[in-house]
Structure 1
C-alpha cells in the first residue's frame, strides 16, 4: 500500500449525475484495504474531490470475486462497503472501454459483491449509452418507511442491495432526504435505500432517493430498477415493457424481461483525471 503522503491517480465520472471517484488499483498495490477515512476524504465535496462513492478498479485475480477479469470495489461516501451500484457499474465500464482494458464490441462482464453484471455498449463502441443486465430482482414483503411522523407503505425489492419503494402524491412531501427515513430494522438490519415515486404518465415515473451511506443523491441505478419492478407489478405490465424513470440527474430506461432479468440503459461519462494525495 502507498504511504499516506504519496500521490496516486484518480478519475471522476458520473451516471445521471450520480458521481464517483474512480481509483485505478489493478493489482491492489496502491490502496491496500482502502481505508474508510481515505474514501471519506476523496468524497468530501468541500475539501476533497467530491462524490457519492468510490469505485476502485481491481483485477478479479486480486479480489475474492472471480468469474470476470475486472472487479468493482464500491464504497459509499461514508466509507462503508456496498454490494452494488447501477450507475457506478456503467461509469466503471466506461473507464475500462476508454482505456482499452475491455472490448466494447462484445459484452463486458464486471464482478461485483452482488455477482457478475454484464455491460453492453451501444454501437459496440466506447461512446454512447450502456445497458447493464442487473440480474433477477427479488420481490419481498410489504413494509413501511417514515419521515417526520409521516408513514408510507413500501415494497421491499432486492437488486443485489436492499430497497424500499414508496409511492407518494408529491415528491416534495418527503422533504430534504438528507437523513435516513425510519425503517423496520428487522426487515433491513444493515440499512436500506429508500425510493419515493410519483407517476408522470403511462410507463413513466419520477423518483427521489435516499441512499444508505450517502444521503440523497441525484440518481440511483439499482433504485431505479427497484422502482421499475414495483411499478410494473402495480401496473400488471407485460414483461419486456420499457419504463422511463426520471431522476433529478437524468433519465434511465429499464425493462424487466421475459427471462426475469432487469436491463438498465443510461449514460455514463468520465469528466476528469489527475493525481491526489488525499
Structure 2
C-alpha cells in the first residue's frame, strides 16, 4: 500500500518564538497518516459536511476556525455560524467524522525552554521532524508499505521557503544519509512535498487533531481534562501494545516530563 503523512505547521500548534518574546512554552508537530485508498471516501464525507453548513465544499476547516465558529464566542472565524443550535450540530458532526475516519497520528512535543538550554542555537522544528519521520518509517516497515510526506511549512510570519527548504534538507538526509543520530528511512519516497492547508484535506485533518495535543501541554492539563484530546486525538495516536508514550507521543527533552500533569500517574 501507499500512505500519505500530513503535517500542519501552524500557530495553533506552538511556535519557535523565544519565551522572552511571549512565545509558546511548547512546540507540537503532529503527523496524520492516511492510506491512499481511504482518501477519496474521507474527502467525500468531509466535503459533504462543509457543503451542508457553509454551502461550499472547498472551504478550509481548521481547529481554530471550528472552535471560533461558535456564535457565543467573540473571536472571529471564517466559519462563524450565527445560530447556536446549528453550531452544535456542526461540531457534533465534525466530532463523529474525526472519531470514525481511519487515520493514525504521531505527535512530537518539544519543551522549548529545556530544549534551548541544551541546544541554544537550534530550531526545534528540526528535531521534531526527525522524530516524526523516524516513526513514519517504522509504521511503514510494520505495514509493509511506502509513503510520502506532505507539509504546509508556513509558520506565522516565517517565510514559507525558509522553513520549507530546511525541512526538505533534513528529509532528504533521512532518506539517503544515515548518521549517528538517525536511521535511514527507505520506505519514505520522494522529496518532502509542500502544500497549503486550504488546498489539502489531509493537512486540515492533521490540524484538527494537533491542536488538542498542544492544548493539554501548553495549559498543563491531564489528557482527560480536555474533551477534544480525550475523544479525538488520543484515540488516533499510535500505541504499541497499548503504550502511547515513546511511540505515538514523543516528548523531548525527557527531564521536564515530571513537572507536567499529563504524565502524572
Specify if TM > 0.5: no
Q: TM-score, with normalisation over the residues of structure 1?
A: 0.28
Looking at secondary structure, tell me which structure has more strand per residue.
1
Larger RCO of the pair (alpha carbons < 8 Å, separation 6+): 2
